[in-house]
Amino acid sequence: MQTRVLVTGAAGRIGSAFVRDVDEWYVLRLADRHIPTYQHDHESVLLHIEDLESCQAACRGMDVVMHLAGDPSPQADFYDSLLQNNIVGTYNLFRAAKDQGCRRVIFASSIWTVGDYTPERPVMTDVPVRPPNMYAVSKCFGEAVAYYFATAEGLSSIAIRIGSYESDWIWRQRDDATLRGFISQRDMCQLLTKCIEISDVPFAIVHGISDNQWKRLDITTTRELLGYQPQDDAFQLFETYHQHSIEEENR
């Protein structure tokens, strides 16, 4: 039987790429504040994560909850957005997943949770969090909620500290900090799939970046725990993109 996966934030950049990549692998329920529209056979539902009953309904009958919804902006205001979307909404999804008998929640955390470490060496998964803004604080809260539900209520939980997700703006300028924390679409989809498939993981924090030549986050434990095998290197990709751009300009 195929695994049933609820994808919150399914209309977002990470969610929509994941849906395209694994379209036939799982039975998906795509949930968002605005119902996603794709050419697929999967169920789409309206979800307001700040409402517990809406979360309960979305989680019903699912095996895994992939929680990608929430405000992704480091500049987000606490009262206007983060409190409801990243604090209340995160708790609601974990609460509903446990109540509805789901076996695991995969939580989209952020590289920002350890954003105040100096860049001299890659940050390990087991160091104390150092959030430089309230967005990062909201993601630290999510990691703590994941730990609570895993240890106190027996809900398998994996938090992924996602780096700079591949998008067009990354290639328009070279920013070493961004490239050090880069994760490509295909590496992100592989990592999400690994988090669904791995068995016997009560709780884990893993790092979501590609195999970049210089890394902001250490991915040793992520490789060992999940069998993650990233295919891309941001620095090589940037140089390739830059070279192609020069060739196009010279034509």
Tokens (6 digits) for 122: 């890659």
The answer to whether 47 and 24 have CB atoms below 8 angstroms apart is no
33-37, 128-132, 174-178, 209-213: range with lowest mean pLDDT: 33-37
- Between strands 4-8 and 64-67, the pairing is parallel
Compute the distance between CA of residue 88 and CA of residue 92 in angstroms, rounded to an integer.
6
Instruction: Provide the 8-state DSSP code for 118.
Output: -
Tokens (6 digits) for 219: 């991915």
pLDDT digits (tens, 9 = 90+) for 38-95: 556 789 999 999 999 999 999 999 999 999 999 999 999 999 999 999 999 999 999 9
How are the residues of the chain apportioned to helix, strand and coil, as percentages rounded to the nearest 5?
Answer: 45, 20, 40
- pLDDT range class, residue 177, cuts 50, 70, 90: confident
Compute the distance between CA of residue 66 and CA of residue 17 in angstroms, rounded to an integer.
13
Would you list the domain boundaries of the chain? 4-246
Q: What is the pLDDT, as a whole number, of residue 31?
A: 95
CATH of region 4-246? 3.40.50.720
Q: What is the pLDDT, as a whole number, of residue 149?
A: 98
pLDDT digits (tens, 9 = 90+) for 206-244: 999 999 999 999 999 999 999 999 999 999 988 876 665
Q: What is the pLDDT, as a whole number, of residue 34?
A: 81
Compute the distance between CA of residue 83 and CA of residue 79 in angstroms, rounded to an integer.
6
Compute the distance between CA of residue 73 and CA of residue 66 in angstroms, rounded to an integer.
19
Q: What is the pLDDT, as a whole number, of residue 1?
A: 81
pTM score: 0.93
- Which are the contacts of 15, defined by CB distance < 8 A and separation ≥ 6? 7, 8, 9, 30, 32, 36, 66, 68
- Selected residue with higher pLDDT from 34 and 122: 122
**Longest CA span, the chain:** 63
Q: What is the pLDDT, as a whole number, of residue 169?
A: 60
pLDDT digits (tens, 9 = 90+) for 201-210: 999 999 999 9
Is pLDDT at 26 greater than 70 in this prediction? yes
Is pLDDT at 168 greater than 80 in this prediction? no
Nearest Cα neighbor of 187 from 143, 243, 114, 237 is 237
Tell me whether residue 135 is one of the annotated catalytic residues.
yes
In a 13 Å sphere around the CA of 13, the CA atoms on its Cβ side amount to 13
Nearest Cα neighbor of 44 from 22, 69, 27 is 27
Is pLDDT at 249 greater than 80 in this prediction? no
Nearest Cα neighbor of 166 from 112, 213, 232 is 232
Instruction: Provide the 8-state DSSP code for 24.
Output: T
Selected catalytic residue, list 91, 135, 165, 228 = 135
